[in-house]
């Protein structure tokens, strides 16, 4: 499905925030409908909505399962934390864009808000 012209996509976010794409590069045109910041997986399961970007410092493979099951748009790993190979391969398998940044979660959330993601 082609995104609307003015809709923020994962690709747009990656470029604007200078994120490194680690996995799921085939799914970057997915539209972003909102965002949440949390390191508690149950909170994300309870509060995440389809199309949300999830900013976290968790790096293990369960994050990908959570994102896939909650139909999230992408995972952004903040503050320079680096996901392992098992997380990357699971993200490819589940078609979840996995991105990282050296910026802390607070800054990433602020910049995403400035981009118009509410």
Residue 49 within binding range of another protein, rule CB under 8 A: yes
User: Shortest gap between Cβ of 18 and another protein (angstroms)?
Assistant: 26
40 contacts another protein (rule: CB under 8 A): yes
Q: Decide if residue 62 touches another protein (CB under 8 A).
A: yes
Which one, 26 or 42, has the nearer CB to another protein? 42
Among 63, 16, 13, CA closest to 43 = 63
Among 39, 89, 102, 114, binds another protein (CB under 8 A): 39
Binding site for another protein (CB under 8 A): 39-43, 45-47, 49-50, 56, 58, 60-66, 68-71, 86, 94
């Amino acid at each position: 499905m082609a995104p609307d012209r003015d809709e923020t996509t994962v690709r747009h976010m990656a470029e604007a925030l200078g994120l490194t794409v680690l996995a799921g590069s085939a799914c970057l045109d997915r539209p972003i409908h909102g965002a949440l910041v949390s390191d508690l997986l149950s909170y994300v399961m309870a509060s995440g909505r389809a199309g949300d970007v999830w900013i976290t410092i968790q790096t293990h493979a369960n994050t990908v399962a959570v994102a896939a099951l909650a139909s999230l748009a992408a995972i952004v790993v903040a503050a320079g934390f680096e996901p392992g190979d098992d997380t990357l391969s699971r993200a490819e398998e589940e078609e979840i864009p996995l991105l990282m940044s050296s910026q802390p979660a607070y800054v990433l959330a602020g910049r995403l808000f400035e981009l118009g993601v509410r």
